[in-house]
């Protein structure tokens, strides 16, 4: 079955995907500390988390499945924006989540997170200023021996990190002093120098589907990312592939397979029939890799013995979750 054979503009309940979402840094808002991350200003700014935003999502809304921007943003980038330099690992990551509506219907989100080079001068300047202030405060507080020095050091801690406030908070003489202090820490862990380093920020591509088509969604998002970073342009504009998976690829009938065109190759998924087990597209090998063999054996034993099982996330407190097997 070819996904392009479906009629355009069909009901959202009959489509393979409900939404396509992009989350990342909003250059107009600038850098805002992510208070929910539970981090302190003692950490280098390059290691802190900042608030992310839903940059675009298509379509605006669908029938029966409203789009909740704040919830989607939190689930796509649960740790907020992460900044890196060329010295750090920039490998893309993948995760999934489930959203349950009041009526019991579920939507499955699949997220491909990668690091994109920061080209906004305002964001680079804001990060440079944050690091300079952190560097001077850290070294002055470690060598301070009087209460007055501690008071001055704590007062220099920024309560907000918007680009406008950072750009206007330093006089020229202060900026020269900060720059000279940072020059002695080139190559330190978590250091950043705009003249020497390339700044990267996390960005998330997300696809919402009515069924847990994990592998197909993962392949589509990975191919889309590869097309964005490739020097060779794909045969069609990237918007065409997003439009195709949102409006032209149908939901496969029960017991049937679906083959549709991705950005760089065909993608195949299969939907179980009425008499078959529910769709389980999650690779069991990853569970063993993440939890370990002993923990997986304990987990399966507890599930088979109908013992209560609690899964605890290490993410933000607001998205820690519990799953129970009875």
Positive or negative: CA dihedral 268, 61, 50, 97:
negative
pLDDT at 48: 87
Q: What is the DSSP string of 76-111?
A: HSTT-EEEEETTS----EEEEEEEE-TTS-EEEEEE
Q: Is the distance from CB of 92 to CB of 113 less than 8 angstroms?
A: yes
The DSSP secondary-structure symbol of 263 reads: S
Query: Which element (helix H / strand E) includes 214?
Result: helix 214-229
pLDDT at 66: 85
pLDDT at 154: 42
Residue 269, helix vs strand vs coil: strand
What's the token pair of residue 130? 């944050």
pLDDT at 30: 84
Measured at the CA of 231, the angle between CA 230 and CA 236, to 5 degrees, comes to 75
pLDDT at 175: 45
pLDDT at 139: 67
pLDDT at 157: 44
Count of Cβ atoms closer than 10 Å to residue 236 Cβ: 13
Question: To 10 degrees, the CA torsion angle through 77, 78, 83, 87?
Answer: -100
Burial class (CB in 10 A: 0-12, 13-18, 19+), 107: buried
Q: Against a cut of 0.95, is the pTM above it?
A: no
Q: What is the DSSP string of 179-207?
A: HHHHGGGTT-TT---TTT--EEEEEEEEE
CA neighbor of 92 nearest in space, from 116, 113, 121: 113
Residue 55, helix vs strand vs coil: strand
Residue 101, helix vs strand vs coil: coil
pLDDT at 41: 61
pLDDT at 106: 87
CA neighbor of 224 nearest in space, from 110, 117, 119: 110
Cα atoms found within 13 Å of the Cα of residue 108, Cβ hemisphere only: 19
Divide the 326 residues of the chain into consecutive groups of 10 and give the mean pLDDT of each group: 42 84 92 70 82 94 84 92 92 92 86 96 91 78 53 43 44 46 52 89 96 94 94 90 95 92 92 85 83 90 87 52 39
pLDDT at 173: 44
Burial class (CB in 10 A: 0-12, 13-18, 19+), 45: buried
Q: If you search the block for the tokens 């589907």, which residue do you land on?
A: 209
């Amino acid at each position: 079955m070819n996904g392009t054979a479906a009629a355009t503009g069909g009901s959202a309940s009959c489509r393979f995907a409900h939404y396509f979402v992009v989350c990342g840094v909003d250059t107009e808002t600038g850098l805002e500390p992510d208070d929910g991350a539970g981090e302190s200003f003692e950490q280098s700014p390059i290691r802190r988390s900042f608030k992310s935003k839903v940059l675009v999502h298509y379509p605006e809304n669908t029938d029966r499945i409203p789009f909740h921007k704040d919830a989607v943003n939190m689930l796509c980038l649960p740790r907020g924006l992460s900044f890196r330099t060329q010295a750090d690992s920039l490998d893309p990551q993948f995760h999934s989540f489930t959203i349950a509506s009041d009526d019991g219907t579920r939507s499955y989100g699949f997220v491909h997170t990668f690091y994109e080079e920061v080209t906004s001068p305002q964001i680079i300047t804001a990060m440079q200023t944050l690091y300079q202030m952190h560097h001077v405060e850290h070294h002055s507080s470690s060598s301070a021996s009087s209460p007055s020095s501690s008071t001055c050091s704590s007062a220099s801690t920024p309560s907000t990190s918007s680009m406008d406030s950072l750009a206007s908070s330093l006089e020229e003489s202060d900026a020269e002093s900060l720059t000279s202090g940072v020059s002695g820490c080139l190559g330190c862990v978590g250091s950043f120098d705009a003249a020497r380093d390339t700044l990267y920020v996390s960005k998330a591509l997300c696809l919402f589907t009515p069924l847990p088509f994990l592998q197909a969604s993962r392949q589509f998002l990975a191919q889309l990312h590869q097309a964005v970073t490739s020097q060779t342009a794909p045969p069609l504009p990237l918007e065409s592939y997003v439009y195709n998976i949102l409006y032209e690829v149908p939901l496969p009938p029960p017991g049937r397979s679906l083959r549709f065109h991705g950005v760089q190759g065909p993608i195949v998924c299969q939907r179980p029939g009425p008499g078959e087990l529910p769709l389980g597209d999650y690779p069991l090998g990853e569970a063993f890799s993440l939890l370990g063999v002993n923990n997986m054996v304990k987990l399966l034993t507890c599930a088979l013995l109908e013992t209560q099982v609690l899964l605890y996330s290490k993410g933000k407190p607001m998205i820690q979750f519990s799953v129970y097997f009875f």
